Chains A and B, each alone.
Chain A
Amino acid sequence: MSSFGLLAAIWPLTTLGHYVSWHVIQISVANLIVIILMVVTFIVALFAPFPGRRRRKENP
């Protein structure tokens, strides 16, 4: 194996992209996944308790 082979990605995403179409909207599956992850992160941030909450409760 060449030294460049060692540097290659495990699952390179270089194949032709996949797209989702709905009326005027066209979005790549990769972008859709990123947007869903961002929305999930936002929701988790809303509902996840603040770090240190338990400690504050123990030492009011």
Chain B
Amino acid sequence: MRSKAFRPDVDAPEWKGGHSPYDIIKEGTIALVVVSILTVLLSVAFGSPDDPSITIKAWSTNAPMDFATTALSELNATSGSAQYGAPYNHASTGQQLGPLTLAKWIGVRVPVNSVNDYIIDPLRSLPKQPALTADLSQWSSASGSTRAGWVKDYSQAANQMQIVNGQLVVNATNAGPLPVMMADLFQMARTGALDQALVTQNGFYTSDYTLPLLFLADGTYLSGIAQKQHLTGDQWGMMNETGNYPGQAWLWLYTFWYQIKPFNASGNGDVLVWGLMMVLSAGLLLTPFIPGLRSIPRKTRVYRLIWREHYRSLP
């Protein structure tokens, strides 16, 4: 029988020497104990990141004009989330990889209607507001074209938007109930009621922060704070943490692509980076089957450094 040629990257020669006992349980236990002690000591010494959460109440108080203009962009559906496409709406194709419209294929899985979810439904949750209830009824009973006319008039008048004594003032004469509704929404935001309304309208449990997060992300207040903390995508933010704490350093390659062209200049940057990382991850997973790549450990001979005692005894 003809014997097969020895393939150094794939085949292992049969070991004919002696064996040494090795206690992996003992090593694992020691590692666990050392890491646990280090974790406790480092926590006592340095604490952990615990920045206060950014709320719509804080946003509308600290940056009232930004809140008001963002609320307007939700009303006339020009905000980033209203124009995003899947998974929130059908406004655009969404993220696509070349001809593959991946986001569209997955579909609208988290439907967000910017007018209803950010303005009408929260206002409906306010109790004992007869004037507002009448305005909301007027809005509900109006035709689509009438509403569009109101929104158009309000949007034009909003160029002269002002905050007077803590009240949102827009002098729109043909905007139907919108000036009052938007002023009430502004007050609702400043009291903190809007924060609560946006997390409770999806059910009893208040763990779904999709709506307030999208709303905050549509404005510039959140991104301004993120920029200051080096947390935005173009600042390698994916691997950073608030304050002086170390972050997710292992995401260096993923976030690296966001810093260079074509990824940082493409509207489909997220899916392009994801696609590239999937290809690279597959390469890593299939290393044993890729000629050349699988030879790197053998050719760099690092193993001979680790097991130098053994190799010293060999001829």
B239 interfacial contact with A, CB 8 Å: yes
**Residues 5-45 of chain A, each 1 if its beta carbon lies under 8 Å from chain B, else 0:** 00011111111111100001111111101110000000000
Could you say which of B45, B49, B249 contacts A10, with CB atoms under 8 Å apart? Answer: B45
Interface size on B, residues (CB 8 A): 31
**Residues 65-109 of chain B, each 1 if its beta carbon lies under 8 Å from chain A, else 0:** 000000000000000000000000000000000000000000000
- 14 further A-B pairs in the complex, CB-CB below 8 A; given A16-B229, A26-B235, A27-B236: A9-B44, A9-B47, A12-B243, A13-B244, A17-B240, A17-B242, A18-B244, A19-B230, A28-B240, A30-B245, A31-B239, A31-B247, A31-B249, A50-B309
Quick check: A30 and B230 within 8 Å, CB to CB? no
Quick check: A14 and B47 within 8 Å, CB to CB? yes
Quick check: A31 and B246 within 8 Å, CB to CB? yes
Q: Which 3 residue pairs across A and B have the least CB separation, nearest first?
A: A9-B47, A13-B244, A30-B246
Quick check: B243 and A16 within 8 Å, CB to CB? yes
Give the interface centre of B51, B236, B239, B244 by most chain A CB atoms within 10 Å. Answer: B244
A52 to B230, CA, bound (A): 47
A24 to B48, CA, bound (A): 29
Chain A, residue nearest B42 (CB): A9
Quick check: A30 and B244 within 8 Å, CB to CB? yes
**Residues 241-281 of chain B, each 1 if its beta carbon lies under 8 Å from chain A, else 0:** 11111110100000000011000000000000000000000
A interface, size bucket: 20 to 34
Quick check: A15 and B259 within 8 Å, CB to CB? no
Q: Given that A12-B46, A17-B229, A28-B247 are contacting pairs, would A56 and B240 also be in contact in the complex, using a CB cutoff of 8 Å?
A: no
When distances are taken between beta carbons in the complex, the residues of chain B under 8 Å from A31 are: 239-240, 246-247, 249
SS of B interface (majority): loop
List residues 39-59 of chain A with CB under 8 A from any CB of chain B: 46-47, 50, 53, 56
Could you say which of B45, B239, B243, B305 contacts A14, with CB atoms under 8 Å apart? Answer: B243
A24 to B260, CA, bound (A): 8
Could you say which of A8, A14, A24, A35 contacts B244, with CB atoms under 8 Å apart? Answer: A14
Q: Can you list 17 pairs linking A and B with CB atoms under 8 Å apart?
A: A9-B44, A12-B46, A13-B244, A14-B49, A14-B243, A16-B243, A17-B229, A17-B241, A17-B242, A17-B243, A17-B244, A24-B260, A26-B230, A26-B236, A27-B239, A28-B247, A34-B249
Quote the shortest CB–CB distance from B115 to chain A (angstroms): 38
Q: Given that A14-B47, A26-B230 are contacting pairs, would A35 and B249 also be in contact in the complex, using a CB cutoff of 8 Å?
A: yes
Quote the shortest CB–CB distance from A11 to chain B (angstroms): 6
B33 interfacial contact with A, CB 8 Å: no
